[in-house]
Every structure is written in C-alpha cells, then in structure tokens.
Amino acid sequence: MSAQLILGKEISESIYSELRDRIESLKVGGVTPGLAVVLVGEDPASQVYVRMKGKKCEELGMHSVTIVMPEDTTEAELLAKVNELNNDESIHGFLVQLPLPKHINEDTIINAIDPRKDADCFHPANVGKMLIGDPSFLPATPAGVQQMLVRSGVETSGKHVVVVGRSNIVGKPMAAMMLQKGKGADSTVTIVHSRTKDLASITRQADILIVAIGKAGFITGNMVKDGAVVIDVGTNRVDDPTAKNGSRLVGDVDFNEVKEVASAITPVPGGVGPMTICMLMANAVTAAENAALSR
C-alpha cells in the first residue's frame, strides 16, 4: 500500500478562493482587511516566513504591514509598538513573530496584544474561548490541520486521534480542537510526548496520527497502524550532501517508511506548511469582519 498524499498547497488554494470573496465583500463596505507582522531581530527562518505572509496579503488584496525592529529592541519598545498596533484602525489582525530575543518575555508581549486582533490566537483569552468551544479565532497550524482533514474527506467523528507533542502552539490546541463537537472533530484524543512510556504502543492505536514533536524522522513505520491517516507538522533541516545547498527539509515522520503503512499522509515540504499562512490570513479576514460589524 502507498498512501494518498494530502497536499496543503491544493487545499489552501480552495480556501484562498473563499477568502477572496469575503475580502471583496468587506471592500464593498469600505473595509480592507489589514494584517501586520512585527519581526524583532534577524532570524533567517522568521524572515522567510514574514516575507511569505506579506506576499500572500498582496496577492489577496489585503493591507499588509511588516515592522522590522533590531535585535537589541527593549521589551518596553516592543510593548509600545504592540500598543500602537492595538490602536491602529487600519490593522485588524497582527502578530509578533516568535521566537523573540531572550531578553524579551514572550508571555508579556502576547498578553499585551488586543485579543480582537490576535491573529496567531496565542492570547490567553482566545485560548480559553477555543477550549470551551466558542472560538474567536483558531491557532493557524492546528486550524490548518483540521481543514486538511475535513477537505480531504477524512472522517474524524468517533476516531482515535493521537497527538504527538504538547506545545502551546500545536500539540495542546490541536488536541483541544479535535475534542470539540462538530465537523472535523468529535474525536477521542490522546496526547503523547517525550516523557510518555512505551509511546509506540499508543501511536499504533491511532486512526489519525498528528505529529508535532520537533524530531526528524521520529515516527517510523512500525509505530503506525495499518491504514492510519498521518499528519506531519514537523519541519526539520537535516544535512544532505546530494542537495544543492547541502541540506533538506524533512518532517517528524519517516515519510518513506510510513507512506507504505498509512492510508493518507502529508509530505514535508508541501503538506501542513502552506496551511499555516492560509489560516493566518483567514484569522485576519475574520478580525476585519468582526470590526466591521462593531462599527
């Protein structure tokens, strides 16, 4: 058996088509959705990600602002910038790109963001609303995974979902979302992590295995149940002398092994990655719609 590929690029394009209609409706009412990104320092991966966000905003006809601040920016200076964006009516959603320099407390910055403009859905108020099933926004990567399942026709109701990883960005919100009532959810959920004993015995029970543990090739073929759906959220750069730049991107799943066991799988790159930016754009459009309604 060789698994069906679930491709984020294809699924994201269908969502962008829907977003364009929503953006056009907002513009007819005099509102252009605005998304701002604040980047502190010169982390290369963050720079690439921020450029991609700006480019996608332009393609969709959204108002895009990128604010680059130096590595030695103080916490007070960053908080002032956050407050400025909180009060800027042309910006409906924004995010401060993580990770931040070590001298800045990430929680302090996240807590200062107006929850109504929290495009990343990291603010505790939005996390709490998600947990009780009344979300204003959904965190981009878990929301992207859920859309991939729904739009690929993967049944989730009553299925056993095992989430590998317990981060605040992916693992915990992913589990919470799959527990909710409704489409793309209604699952029985187990979380495993680095301290789980006999982890493989649990991953082999999964109908749907979602992997976000940050270790290249961590999930191997013997850790997956025959016919399971495997979603690989990991992005790891590994050495590869045969590659043009001497390295390549791989996921947290040993793709070549697992694709022979799974019924469906996401590749890396080309799987979950495109969905993260897509759902960020969706959050910004939702924030603009909410702002338009409250005018």
* pLDDT at residue 111, as a whole number: 98
Half-sphere exposure of 63 (CA within 13 A, CB side): 16
| Total count of domains within the chain | 2
Sign, Cα dihedral of 212, 213, 214, 218? negative
Note whether residue 288 is domain-resident: no
User: At which of 82, 115, 148 does a domain end?
Assistant: 115
pLDDT mean for each 10 residues of the chain (295 residues): 91 97 97 97 83 92 96 97 98 95 97 97 97 96 98 98 97 98 97 97 98 96 98 92 86 97 97 96 98 85
Q: Which are the catalytic amino acids?
A: 53, 97, 120
**Is the same domain home to 93 and 145?**
no
Residues with Cβ < 8 Å from 191, sequence gap 6 or more?
162, 163, 165, 166, 171, 172, 175
Note whether residue 269 is domain-resident: yes
Q: Left (φ > 0), alpha (ψ -120 to 50) or beta: where does 11 sit?
A: alpha
What is the SS3 assignment for 249? strand
**Is the same domain home to 253 and 146?**
yes
* pLDDT at residue 294, as a whole number: 80
Note whether residue 127 is domain-resident: no
**Is the same domain home to 99 and 157?**
no
* pLDDT at residue 1, as a whole number: 60
- Model's pTM, two decimal places? 0.94
**Is the same domain home to 95 and 180?**
no
- Find the domain containing 100 and state its range: 30-115
**Is the same domain home to 161 and 212?**
yes
Note whether residue 295 is domain-resident: no
Note whether residue 201 is domain-resident: yes
* pLDDT at residue 61, as a whole number: 96
**Is the same domain home to 110 and 147?**
no
Note whether residue 290 is domain-resident: no
**Is the same domain home to 99 and 211?**
no
What is the SS3 assignment for 167? coil
Burial class of residue 129 in the structure, from the number of CB atoms within 10 Å of its CB (0-12 exposed, 13-18 middle, 19+ buried): middle
CATH label of the domain that carries residue 98: 3.40.50.10860
Helices 8-28 and 273-293 pack at an angle, to 10 degrees, of 20
Residues 116, 34: Cα–Cα separation, whole Å: 13
Q: What is the DSSP string of 64-89?
A: EEEEEE-TT--HHHHHHHHHHHHT-T
**Is the same domain home to 234 and 268?**
yes
Q: Cα 154 from chain centroid?
A: 19
**Is the same domain home to 148 and 111?**
no
**Is the same domain home to 183 and 256?**
yes
Note whether residue 282 is domain-resident: no
Note whether residue 20 is domain-resident: no
* pLDDT at residue 105, as a whole number: 98
**Is the same domain home to 39 and 82?**
yes
CATH label of the domain that carries residue 173: 3.40.50.720
Q: Cα 233 from chain centroid?
A: 9
**Is the same domain home to 98 and 151?**
no
